Structure 1
Amino acid sequence: MTANSKTLKVALLGAGNVGSQVARILLDDADALAARTGARLELVGIAVRNVDAPREVELPRELFTTDASALVRGADIVIELMGGLEPARTLILEAIEHGAAVVTGNKALLAVDGPTLYEKADAAGVQLSFEAAVAGAIPILRPINDSLAGDKITRIMGIVNGTTNYILDAMDSTGAQFADALADATRLGYAEADPTADIEGHDAAAKGAILASLAFHTRFALEDVDCQGITEVTAADIAAAKDAGYVIKLLAIAEKLEAANSDGAITSGVSVRVHPTLIPREHPLGAVRGAFNAVFVEAESAGELMFYGRGAGGSPTASAVMGDVVSAARRMVLGGPGRTESTIEVLPVLPIEAVTTQYYIGIDAADQPGVLAKISALFAQNGVSIETMRQTVHSEGNGHDGPGSAELRIVTHRASEAALAATVEAIKGLDIINSVTSVLRVEGV
């Protein structure tokens, strides 16, 4: 078959930073793409809300349309880069119904309604691809789906949001407070005008659900992810972590665990969570700086693998989109069933209380005899073992009545979330405790 013997019509939904770069590649690299796929990829239209809106990439005006539905119905491959839940969901379902392969970077939609889209694509026998939905240019979804298909993944830990990594890295390297680091990220364009989805962890949670679905062959949605953002992380937390040899990162973590159910039987399940985490500075994830992303995979046979690169931006993300487009086009030329994700198991979602890890606790206590003994006793009573304890005494009252205060920084051995929560509540009840200032998890030790 020659590269010119078949033409596939490509519809593009959205012409923002990523969409414009995808359109440029389809137009400028048409011959090279035809040689790689065995078919001409003809960009037949670009659906936008406003045809006359200014764009970074100059594209033929005749390609633009506001009738996305008509464009979808006449396409062989539909690339959805509009974002949001609607009309993206309706248009993707319409494309699937008409037998088109779909490529999307819509992490929010996949996290909320991915299982429905996967089922529809499977039933129609069409390919649904979404490499660009997680970690921008980093090829992570295809390696999980293909290269590691014969292995058993046990855990994934990912820095999958560049905004929060930039903020935490700035706090670590300059000592800045959270608000100042966020303002700097906004000024440089790393943070949106409304950064809520990033700093509250929702963006990372959406990506965590996608990673977990592929890694553990079970369909997870956003509601299955326990989520905590970085707004409560203070410069004091960052400094204390650095002093102990750690760096704080917002991690999306998915891991297979065994836990006891209500009748005491042991069952396998998956915990999917997003939260600020202390990582040893020498860990590969600890060295990820600025707005970069990285995904750390642990598998039974392959061992530890690290995927690193730019997690956002028009050109890097367009690279991931085009990888999916080429894959879909090759399948259409050569034949074969469409692919979405590989669903083999149906593992239950485990609550975060089933997680066992190490913890970092910051405590502001009265500086008086017996304080350490009382705190240590509560840890022991709840089955939580202390690995290290650091104490800094403030000679002043630190804003509290009575004598000076002591700042305690405790790192535990591995313990269950439930045991740690019970310990913290018991400590808060002591009259010698001014406040529990921080509770953060520790991973990668």
Structure 2
Amino acid sequence: MGEKSCHPVDQMLPFGQLFIYGLQHVLAMYAGAVAVPLIVANALGLGKEQLIFLINADLFTCGIATLIQTLGFGNMGIRIPMIQGVTFAAVTPMIIIGQTNGLPAVYGSIIVAGLVTYLLAPYFSKLLRFFPPVVTGSIITIIGITLMPVAVMWAAGGNPKAPDFASMKYIAMAFTVMLIVLVMYRFFTGFISNIAVLMGLIIGTIIAIPFGMANFSQVSGAAWVGITTPFWFGYPTFDIASIVSMVLVMLVVMTETTGDSIAIGEIIDKPVTSNDLARCLRADGFSTVLGGILNSFPYTAFAQNVGLVGLTRVKSRFVVAAAGVILIVLGLVPKLAAVIAGIPSAVLGGAGIAMFGMVAASGIKTLSKIEFEGTNNIMVVGISIGIGMITLAQPNFYHDFPSWMQVILHSGITAGSIAAILLNAFLNGVKHDGAGGMTHAEKLHEEAAG
């Protein structure tokens, strides 16, 4: 009886369901999780052995970070179904630092930036009053729209430079997977409906094998055991300029994490409080410090999985904790990680379009509850989404700006979030009661009371 009375977020599911739902989250985020070590390793000219080590370290630390965030540890962890992954905001600065001062300087800057994030968390969380529904709805919508090109690229084959990119076989596969997800979601109930994405990924991969789209050749060459050794690339060095740039990245990450946590709170019907956000950001900071020690990278909430929570309607944080355990195992067993890496990009794309579309739909749902008539909310929503789409349409739009501004503006999510916050403060003020900016009548009432 006690379990039925608790919030769905805190419900413990049977072991089998925890594993299946958790695996679904891992498959949904795996490609994004390994993308950062792949990009950084290639840019810095690292060898195959070093690349494999980076991927293992990333997955292992990803799992630990997810457990901290979902289960809580001391004064850290928001305790909602939020999976942790490496932030793409840090990719360019890490490459520049690595090319200039080497990997030890990268990890030194990550450790310090993580510590700064941890210390700033309780102060940054006080800014939650600047995130009424008109702002959060805009941000959630921007997150979904910004992620969509990733799914489209996967659906087209994943590699724009490949001669068969966007060929009919990839597009047909992506839409087949999307159709499988829709059929599972529409015609089944309960457990089967909840694992619609997982079934789409598994069935899609099986269909892709005879067409030569699934490549599992690297499985045989992968090791059974891979241990992540702290400071494998050498003890960290601390360069002031590198540290400043990484701290700036983490300020961007804190803004994005705030948006993601609020988005999940909306989906699971558990509003995020200032204290929740402080715990969430502390976990980000601690996990980032851990990433610097374990040869990984800065961590943040993974927006890719926000849509999966809404699509499956499975709100238990223990499901994502199970995903964290699976990630740790994958980090320790490279052969298993290689199996998951064999899932074709087109298969991921079909599922991704559905998941990322759900994020945008959640934002639209939030916006549908606010008052537009007689308010300035239409301008807040319209301009913030427009600013968020700039780098989506033209990635090099800000190339003439100072490097520190590029770090902030390059992410459409960050630029759009900042725009929504500032526009709302300018047009509506910051006195909110949850309506997303006062209506005209409320303004008149306040003036009369004054």
State the TM-score, normalized to the length of structure 1. 0.23
Greater fraction of residues in strand: 1
Greater length-normalized contact order (CA 8 Å, ≥ 6 residues apart): 2
State the TM-score, normalized to the length of structure 2. 0.23
Greater fraction of residues in helix: 2
Structure with the greater alpha carbon radius of gyration: 1
